[in-house]
Amino acid sequence: MKEELSILIQAQYPLIYLVTSEEERTEQAIATIAQLRPQRRIYIWTVTHGIVEYGQPRNVNQHNTISPEAAIEWTIRQKDSSIFIFKDLHPFIDSPATTRWLRDAIASFKGTQKTIILMSPMQQIPIELEKEVVVLDFPLPDLTELNQVLDRQLEKNRGRRLTTEAREKLLKAALGLTRDEAEKVYRKAQVTAEQLTEKEVDIVLSEKKQLIRRNGILEFIEEDETIDAVGGLEELKRWLKQRSNAFTERAREYGLPQPKGMLILGVPGCGKSLIAKTTSRLWGLPLLRLDMGRVYDGSMVGRSEANLRNALKTAESISPAILFIDELDKSFAGTSGSSDSDGGTSSRIFGSFLTWMQEKTSPVFVMATANRVERLPGEFLRKGRFDELFFVDLPTADERKEIFNIHLLKRKRDITRFDLEQLAKVADGFSGAEIEQALVAAMYEAFAQDREFTQLDIIAAIKATLPLSKTMTEQVTALRDWARQRARPAASSVAEYQRMEF
């Protein structure tokens, strides 16, 4: 990225937009580039100080350039070989005068060694400038840069040594943080512990989780259940187990491609979210939930896009990781329709997400679930977008038996006291979630009467429940018909065959 920026500046690009929240680190990178021939001076504009030369005392408004228009005009009057950094111009950039002055500057910079760099945590570009500006994302620090941060921290505590493995773990644990954040967590780990060792990796990791939590769009999910807590869905489980080591170096050497992602479609309450969450343990990768609802932010144009971009950038920097998007159909509902009520924001977000999926090279596995196909933009279902499209149907009798078994064991009950065969039969048409709910209802009933629950309590609870497959028969049937043609069944083919019969 530094190289790319360097090339753009050398190639006399007049206007570059750098999306970053790390001002100091970005400035330093630009300062290194400015040393290259021909050497360039650096000026920095802020709305508080006006234009100030980089490295000089920050006198307020010494050039009368507090106003963005005056500042841009000033750059036009300067001599050759300068880089002008405008920090946080985005709130002003839409004003007609600012936009116009920028266009004038671009025109006058032709053939000179002058470049304006707009530096903001979010991207905001008026249409008039779209064709003239190059946008670059300033990436989060990589392992090499984190290594420097760590070394500096170690120097401050002379005598501290790290084994190669401890170092590697500490560095990997801090991936996804900005340089300032990494510095902070390394310092904290050192203060808390006597020595900076492998044990502090946990401290760094838990700090990172908090920082990610604060960002509010991505969420670290820690699921205690293993994949064995999911009843049925044998094919889907087999597929996942087969790919347990798909993100290792060994798999790359073997010549395997990196899995891109999967979409799990199906009837509500049948274990889609559950199986997605347990995959994290199975694969030993962190699971990051992307909350699409929080990506949308109508407070300012471009804010939603910036949110998505930041979240994806964080996910990539933590990779290998699983990016979990639950209920994808809800996130992108309405994008395919023509009646966009939000000024096309959701379409744009959807577009950027698809582009990212297409182009990503980092090992971020997208795991998405959806309840309703008709609300899902067709682009998602096109071949090649996901590695596999699985359909999770209502459980068969055998699967229901297994689900009863799982949930009774989970509540530490002796399963020999129950006739699972009969329960499975009575609960025909029930989803896994409904089976669990019936079981809990039976437990409440008995608990209120101060006794242990029995087979009959469960049967009574089942009889008292009207399952979704009965109240929403049409939707469920439509979904099934659709999926039979296009998706791979998550249950085994034998189970599929059994289902056909009832």
Ligand X SMILES: Nc1ncnc2c1ncn2[C@@H]1O[C@H](COP(=O)(O)OP(=O)(O)O)[C@@H](O)[C@H]1O
Binding site for ligand X (CB under 6 A): 230-233, 268-274, 369, 403, 406, 432-433, 436
Rounded-to-integer distance, Cα 491 and Cα 103, Å: 60
Rounded-to-integer distance, Cα 118 and Cα 410, Å: 56
* Binding at 406: pick from ligand X, Mg ion, none (beta carbon under 5-8 Å per type): ligand X
Q: What tokens were used for 462?
A: 């089942």
Stretch that binds Mg ion, among 68-76, 180-188, 215-223, 269-277 (CB under 5 A): 269-277
Task: For ligand X, give the closer residue by CB, 302 or 489.
Answer: 489
Strands (E), 331-431: 364-370, 388-392
In terms of phi and psi (left: phi > 0; alpha: psi -120 to 50; beta: otherwise), the region of 38 is beta
Task: For ligand X, give the closer residue by CB, 33 or 275.
Answer: 275
* Binding at 269: pick from Mg ion, ligand X, none (beta carbon under 5-8 Å per type): ligand X
Half-sphere exposure of 159 (CA within 13 A, CB side): 2
Query: Least CB distance from residue 287 to ligand X, whole Å?
Result: 14
Stretch that binds Mg ion, among 104-112, 140-148, 151-159, 265-273 (CB under 5 A): 265-273
Strands (E), 234-304: 261-266, 287-290
317 is an interface residue for Mg ion by CB under 5 A: no
Query: Least CB distance from residue 350 to Mg ion, whole Å?
Result: 20
Task: For ligand X, give the closer residue by CB, 235 or 436.
Answer: 436
Neighbours of 359 (CB within 10 A): 7
φ, ψ (nearest 5 deg) of residue 290: -95, 115
Task: For Mg ion, give the closer residue by CB, 272 or 360.
Answer: 272
Only one residue has tokens 């030993």, namely 284
Q: What tokens were used for 264?
A: 């799990």
* Binding at 177: pick from Mg ion, ligand X, none (beta carbon under 5-8 Å per type): none
* Cβ burial 35-63 (10 Å sphere, 16+ → b, else e): eeeeebebbbbbeebbbbeeeeeeeeeeb
Rounded-to-integer distance, Cα 424 and Cα 387, Å: 33
Task: For Mg ion, give the closer residue by CB, 273 or 319.
Answer: 273
* Binding at 141: pick from Mg ion, ligand X, none (beta carbon under 5-8 Å per type): none
Query: Least CB distance from residue 270 to Mg ion, whole Å?
Result: 9
* Binding at 403: pick from ligand X, Mg ion, none (beta carbon under 5-8 Å per type): ligand X
Q: What tokens were used for 7?
A: 């090339």
Rounded-to-integer distance, Cα 171 and Cα 318, Å: 11
Query: Least CB distance from residue 12 to ligand X, whole Å?
Result: 54
* Binding at 271: pick from Mg ion, ligand X, none (beta carbon under 5-8 Å per type): ligand X
Contact 453, 442 (CB under 8 A): yes
Task: For ligand X, give the closer residue by CB, 168 or 225.
Answer: 225
Query: Least CB distance from residue 267 to ligand X, whole Å?
Result: 7
Give the closest residue to 174 by CA, choosing from 182, 166, 183. 182
Task: For ligand X, give the closer residue by CB, 89 or 495.
Answer: 495
* Binding at 311: pick from ligand X, Mg ion, none (beta carbon under 5-8 Å per type): none
Give the closest residue to 180 by CA, choosing from 313, 25, 19. 25
- The radius of gyration of the chain's CA atoms, rounded to the nearest angstrom, is 28
* Cβ burial 121-149 (10 Å sphere, 16+ → b, else e): ebbbbbeebeeebeebebebbeeeebbeb
Query: Least CB distance from residue 273 to Mg ion, whole Å?
Result: 3
Task: For Mg ion, give the closer residue by CB, 360 or 372.
Answer: 372
Identify whether 320 is preceded by a cis peptide bond (ω within 30 of 0): yes
Site track for Mg ion across 221-260, x = CB under 5 A: ----------------------------------------
Query: Least CB distance from residue 219 to ligand X, whole Å?
Result: 16
Task: For ligand X, give the closer residue by CB, 27 or 402.
Answer: 402
Task: For ligand X, give the closer residue by CB, 116 or 433.
Answer: 433
> What is the three-state SS of 293-311?
HHHCCCCCCCHHHHHHHHH
Interface residues for Mg ion in 271-290 (CB under 5 A)?
A: 273
Query: Least CB distance from residue 495 to ligand X, whole Å?
Result: 12
Rounded-to-integer distance, Cα 405 and Cα 416, Å: 10
Instruction: Point out the residue whose Cβ comes nearest to ligand X.
Output: 432
Stretch that binds Mg ion, among 159-167, 186-194, 268-276, 309-317 (CB under 5 A): 268-276
Task: For ligand X, give the closer residue by CB, 316 or 436.
Answer: 436
* Binding at 125: pick from ligand X, Mg ion, none (beta carbon under 5-8 Å per type): none
Contact 488, 381 (CB under 8 A): no
Task: For ligand X, give the closer residue by CB, 353 or 391.
Answer: 391
Per DSSP, 193 falls in state S
Query: Least CB distance from residue 325 to Mg ion, whole Å?
Result: 11
Query: Least CB distance from residue 274 to Mg ion, whole Å?
Result: 8
Query: Least CB distance from residue 399 to ligand X, whole Å?
Result: 7
Longest dimension (CA), the chain: 90
Contact 264, 366 (CB under 8 A): no
* Binding at 122: pick from Mg ion, ligand X, none (beta carbon under 5-8 Å per type): none
Total residues binding Mg ion (CB under 5 A): 1
Q: Name the site residues for Mg ion (rule: CB under 5 A).
A: 273
